[in-house]
């Protein structure tokens, strides 16, 4: 399983997402140029808008023309964006365009890379492969902002954008060095997905949506809620969460392969729901760390198992289409969580909102359990 293409794809993934996740610090630059909160939110949201709009269109093209061209396309777009930011000095419409292009780069790269992983991973070890491969992306969530902050402190924004350009150029070099076998179905021009397929794929999309929804709530709204609840720090939560997610992917990746995807996905979705429910009771750092263990562990199990289920049910000749739909479900869940939960908090307050969404996630878990 751990072939040269697999290792190079994981390395390219690490470099690409180190570049992309460094741009979580972009609001600081927008603010530096005089941008207001509304502008910051709208500019940053262009990324998700582009990813959702373009994801489903990219999938069929990947099936038709292959994996590597779209990995290169995503990297090339991200490189163009990084270079363009090094030339900026005023805030304007181009910020919205550049952030939109980053979302397009994400859609092209992640769908092609995930489809390549489905091609490379043996069916009996797919969950393990996704788990190990996914560590290359998870690590960048913590490392990219830390690296970005260090560069900003030492040399400023221009150097920050230059470093992101170097990272994406390194990803380009790795991708160019990859030799990717073309699946027979791709060479023939891809396949189609009928109504029967989508009926069997509903559980995959349901689980993906719930994962995105729960994840966005935790990462978008914990900092302001924790401050309101009187907790001094949230950094220990994210550290422990990431440690559990990475550890589970290394140590528990084979469980879904051995015992079945659904046997891992269902309890993991329930655990995510319980973690969100517990936020409604959060009043101490001890409870915060308990939630970190629950949600981090659930994250580590549910994403590889759900991805493996998506791989299992995606026809080889139409994997790009199927996995694009899977990624879109995650993104729609994340966007729904970010926008919907924010309005719900304004109407009810944080604690009732966490309780309501936790209950809704439990209902979604029951729906997943009822489907085959």
Q: Are residues 120 and 258 in the same domain?
A: no
Q: What is the arithmetic mean of pLDDT over 186-208? A: 76
Compute how many other C-beta atoms are within 10 angstroms of the C-beta atom of residue 228.
11
Domain boundary among 179, 212, 227: 179
The verdict on 173 and 246 lying in the same domain is no
Picking from 179, 210, 235, the residue at the C-terminal end of a domain is 179
Q: Classify residue 250: in a domain, yes or no.
A: yes
Please report, rounded to a whole number, the percentage of residues in the chain having pLDDT higher than 90: 45
Residues, the chain: 372
**pLDDT confidence of residue 234:** 78
pLDDT tens digits for 224-255? 888 888 888 877 888 888 889 888 887 766 88
Q: Report d(CA 34, CA 90) in Å as an integer.
A: 9
Question: CA 339 to CA 358: how far, in whole Å?
Answer: 16
Work out how many domains the chain is built from and give that number.
Answer: 2
Residue 245 domain flag: yes
Q: Taking the CB of residue 372, how many other CB atoms lie within 10 A of it? A: 7
Tell whether 171 and 229 lie within a shared domain.
no
CB 63 within 8 Å of CB 318: yes
What are 255's two structure tokens? 């469980």
Q: Are residues 267 and 232 in the same domain?
A: yes
Contacts of 249 (CB under 8 A, 6+ apart): 131, 132, 134, 135, 138, 300, 304
Tell me what the mean pLDDT of segment 51-79 comes to.
90
By residue range, what is the domain housing residue 104?
A: 4-179
Q: How far apart are CA 65 and CA 56, in angstroms?
A: 15
Q: How many CB atoms lie within 10 A of CB 344?
A: 18
Find all residues with CB under 8 Å of 347, minimum gap 6, and list them: 353
Picking from 131, 149, 179, the residue at the C-terminal end of a domain is 179
In 146-263, which ranges are E strands?
Answer: none
What's the rounded Cα separation, in Å, for the pair 245 and 297?
A: 5
pLDDT averaged over every residue in the chain: 88
pLDDT for position 372 = 66
**Residues 114-163: pLDDT tens digits?**
888 888 888 888 888 888 898 998 888 778 888 998 999 999 999 999 99
Residue 9 has a pLDDT of 94
Residues 138 and 204 in one domain: no
What confidence category does residue 352 fall into, taking pLDDT thresholds of 50, 70 and 90? very high
pLDDT tens for residues 282-300?
Answer: 999 999 999 999 999 999 8
In a shared domain, residues 51 and 80: yes
* pLDDT reported for residue 183: 57
From residue 257, how far is each of 12, 143, 243, 368 by CA, in Å? 25, 30, 22, 19
Considering the domain architecture, whether residues 115 and 201 belong to the same structural domain is answered as: no
| pLDDT at 189 (0 to 100) | 47
How far is residue 43 from each of residues 137, 201, 258, 307, 351, measured CA to CA in Å?
Answer: 23, 33, 44, 30, 29
303 pLDDT more than 70: yes
Q: Which of 52, 260, 9, 236 is nearest to 142 (CA)?
A: 236
Question: Which pLDDT score, from 0 to 100, does residue 192 have?
Answer: 65
Provide the CATH number for the domain around residue 284.
1.20.1250.20
Q: What is the Cα–Cα distance from 48 to 267, expressed in whole angstroms?
A: 28
């Amino acid at each position: 399983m751990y072939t040269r293409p697999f290792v190079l794809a994981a390395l390219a993934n690490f470099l690409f997402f180190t570049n992309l996740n460094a741009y979580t610090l972009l609001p600081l630059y927008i603010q530096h140029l005089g941008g207001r909160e509304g502008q910051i939110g709208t500019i940053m949201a262009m990324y998700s808008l582009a990813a959702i709009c373009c994801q489903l269109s990219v999938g069929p093209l990947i099936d038709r023309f292959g994996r590597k061209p779209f990995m290169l396309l995503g990297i090339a777009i991200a490189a163009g964006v990084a270079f363009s930011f090094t030339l900026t000095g005023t805030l304007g419409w181009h910020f919205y365009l550049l952030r939109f292009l980053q979302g397009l780069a994400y859609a092209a790269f992640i769908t092609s890379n995930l489809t390549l992983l489905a091609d490379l991973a043996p069916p009996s070890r797919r969950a393990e492969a996704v788990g190990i491969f996914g560590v290359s992306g998870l690590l960048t969530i913590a490392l990219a902002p830390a690296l970005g902050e260090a560069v900003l402190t030492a040399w400023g924004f221009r150097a920050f954008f230059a470093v992101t350009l170097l990272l994406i150029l390194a990803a380009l070099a790795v991708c160019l060095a990859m030799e990717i076998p073309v699946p027979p179905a791709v060479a023939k021009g891809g396949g189609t997905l009928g109504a029967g397929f989508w009926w069997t794929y509903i559980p995959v999309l349901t689980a993906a949506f719930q994962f995105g929804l729960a994840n966005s709530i935790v990462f978008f709204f914990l900092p302001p809620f924790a401050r309101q609840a009187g907790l001094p720090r949230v950094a220990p939560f994210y550290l422990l969460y990431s440690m559990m997610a990475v550890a589970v992917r290394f140590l528990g990746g084979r469980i879904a392969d051995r015992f079945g995807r659904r046997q891992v996905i269902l309890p993991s979705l329930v655990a995510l729901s319980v973690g969100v429910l517990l936020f409604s009771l959060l009043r101490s750092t001890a409870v915060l760390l308990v939630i970190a263990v629950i949600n981090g562990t659930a994250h580590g199990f549910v994403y590889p198992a759900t991805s493996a289920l998506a791989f299992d049910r995606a026809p080889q000749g139409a994997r790009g289409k199927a996995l694009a739909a899977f990624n879109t479900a995650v993104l729609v869940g994340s966007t729904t969580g970010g926008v919907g939960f924010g309005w719900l908090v304004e109407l009810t307050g944080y604690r009732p909102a966490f309780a309501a969404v936790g209950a809704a996630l439990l209902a979604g878990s029951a729906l997943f359990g009822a489907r085959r």
